[in-house]
Structure 1
Amino acid sequence: MVAGLALGAYVGWQLWGTTIVSDRTHRALVDDARRAWEGDEGGSGPAGAVSTSHGTVSAIVRIPRFGDDYAIPLLEGTDDDVLAAGLGRFTDGAAPGQVGNFALAGHRVTHGEPLRDMPSLRPGDEVVVETRAWTYTYVLDTGGDDLTVPFTSTWVLDAEPVNPDGGVQPPAAAGDRLLTLTTCAELFHTDDRLVAFGHLASRERRTG
């Protein structure tokens, strides 16, 4: 009985407790980044990246389909600590706005669940990436549940992703400034990933 209660408490913490904590962390890191960008220091790293106890925050990501109040910090790297604090950027790929593949990862369940609603994304949806100096608007070319791959399918992170099976991939017209979103394919443990591709549509100077 004690073991059952302990297991139930652990599962409850993973499903709800970590999300409550991470939601607070998301809000705090977004506020920290905005304050740094608006202050004299402008951020402590390259291109206004902000060093925090959770990692380096390089941008704030907004996805309008997920609601007007959706704002998630983007941190450098994809280790467990980073993904517990926000979205993570695969650092071998492009930075926001750069030529190449700007590839992001995020949890779909636990730790704030920033990509829980990934399957609801549709081609044409926007992903807005705000840095200290620029706001980049990416537009999705594929839907959030159009492509499921094993976690070992690293081709989705290539600078120019080409599906070896001839299926879903960025269209030729997408250009050379790409976006890739990745998350777990199911809400519970899975070795598969949902993947969505997009391209940079515009950029504008950040005004505050």
Structure 2
Amino acid sequence: MRGDPVADQQTTAAAAVPSARGTQRKPPRGRLTASDILRKISQVLGELLITAGIVLLLFVGWELWWTNVEADAKQTEAVKSFAQEFAGPVTPAVSQATDYGPPVVGTAPAHGKTIGIMYIPRFGPDYTRPIIEGTDQDVLDTLGLGHYGNTSMPGALGNFAVAGHRQTHGAVLDNIHTLVPGDKIYVQTPDGYYTYVFRNNQIVLPSQTDVLMPVPTQPGVTPRESILTMTSCNPRFGSQERIIAYSVLEGWQPSSAGPPSEIATQVAQAQGKG
């Protein structure tokens, strides 16, 4: 039996009209939506941030660790070379109260050459650092304490000034802030041993270069003392300021007299006799 023609027509018409759901078609495969693009961008940015973090950590590790390792090796070599070339008695001087007359003052060597060795007991029994002529990066980043070429030499009237890093490249002045008035600082040159006594420190801006004057911070004044000035960055992990440590010459003794008793062991070790 044939069906109702009218019903058949209605059924056919209904099938031809798309449903409301049918109008929300899914995007063709292979085409990205805005949310897919944002998700991928977030993933890429996340990976880049992680990579940048790893690179930053490696750089910090290189700065705070590896530069110290490299610099320590070069400084140790410079100390041994100097100590062996200018080998003198390692037995302490019989009497450190002996008057040896005015200090002998040497001539500054060429840039990058060794002036002598600095010993600072406050910084530990193994603190032995070379003093090198010049304050350019090739000196400070590898060889330790650099001598400002426009300042005096050890023992001379005026200002014998040196610079050094605080946290990297050997960290030669990392503990400069721990110095206490009365602490001894010893400088050894081919001519002898110069004993300085720490007096005070000062925090200044990097632009305040008058700390290097013959009488620090006093332009035009004639020096009447032999001063040792040490400069480094401040704070310890920054460079916004400079910390300046001042010491005054207390006495000296020629190399032939032997070293001061407080550093005799270190002098012997530097010469390979300890």
Which of residues 6, 12, 21 in structure 1 aligns to 2:70? 21
Classify 1:58/1:89 alpha carbon distance in 2 versus 1 (closer, same or farther; 3 Å): same
Taking the aligned partners of 1:24 and 1:79, their CA distance within structure 2 comes to: 19
1:174-185 to 2 correspondences below 5 Å: 175-185=224-234
Classify 1:49/1:24 alpha carbon distance in 2 versus 1 (closer, same or farther; 3 Å): farther
Cα distance, 1:47 vs structure 2 = 4.4
The more displaced of 71-80 and 181-190 is: 181-190
Question: 2:203 aligns to what?
Answer: 148
Taking the aligned partners of 1:78 and 1:128, their CA distance within structure 2 comes to: 20
Taking the aligned partners of 1:7 and 1:128, their CA distance within structure 2 comes to: 39
Cα distance, 1:2 vs structure 2 = 2.5
Question: 2:197 aligns to what?
Answer: 139
1:35-184 to 2 correspondences below 5 Å: 35-38=84-87, 47=106, 55-84=112-141, 85-142=143-200, 146-162=201-217, 175-184=224-233
Cα distance, 1:201 vs structure 2 = 0.4
Cα distance, 1:163 vs structure 2 = 6.3
Letter in 2 for 1:150: L
Q: Contact 2:160–2:226 (CA<8 Å) still a contact in 1?
A: yes
Normalized per residue, the structure richer in helix is 2
Taking the aligned partners of 2:230 and 2:246, their CA distance within structure 1 comes to: 7
Output the TM-score relative to the length of structure 2. 0.64
Q: Contact 1:185–1:193 (CA<8 Å) still a contact in 2?
A: yes
Taking the aligned partners of 1:59 and 1:195, their CA distance within structure 2 comes to: 21
- Structure 1: segments with no counterpart, 5+ residues: 40-45, 165-173
Question: 1:194 aligns to what?
Answer: 243
Taking the aligned partners of 1:203 and 1:192, their CA distance within structure 2 comes to: 33
Which of residues 231, 235, 255 in structure 2 aligns to 1:206? 255
1:190 aligned counterpart, secondary structure: coil
Deviation by residue 1:81-121 (Cα, 9 ceiling, x = unmatched)? 11121101111000011111001111110111111111100
Q: Contact 2:109–2:133 (CA<8 Å) still a contact in 1?
A: no
Q: Contact 1:178–1:199 (CA<8 Å) still a contact in 2?
A: yes
2:77 aligned counterpart, secondary structure: helix
Letter in 1 for 2:176: M
Normalized per residue, the structure richer in strand is 1
Taking the aligned partners of 1:33 and 1:49, their CA distance within structure 2 comes to: 15
Classify 1:24/1:112 alpha carbon distance in 2 versus 1 (closer, same or farther; 3 Å): same
- Structure 2: segments with no counterpart, 5+ residues: 1-49, 89-104, 259-274
Cα distance, 1:162 vs structure 2 = 3.1
Q: Highest Rg: 1 or 2?
A: 2
Taking the aligned partners of 2:224 and 2:107, their CA distance within structure 1 comes to: 26
CA RMSD of aligned residues (A): 2.3
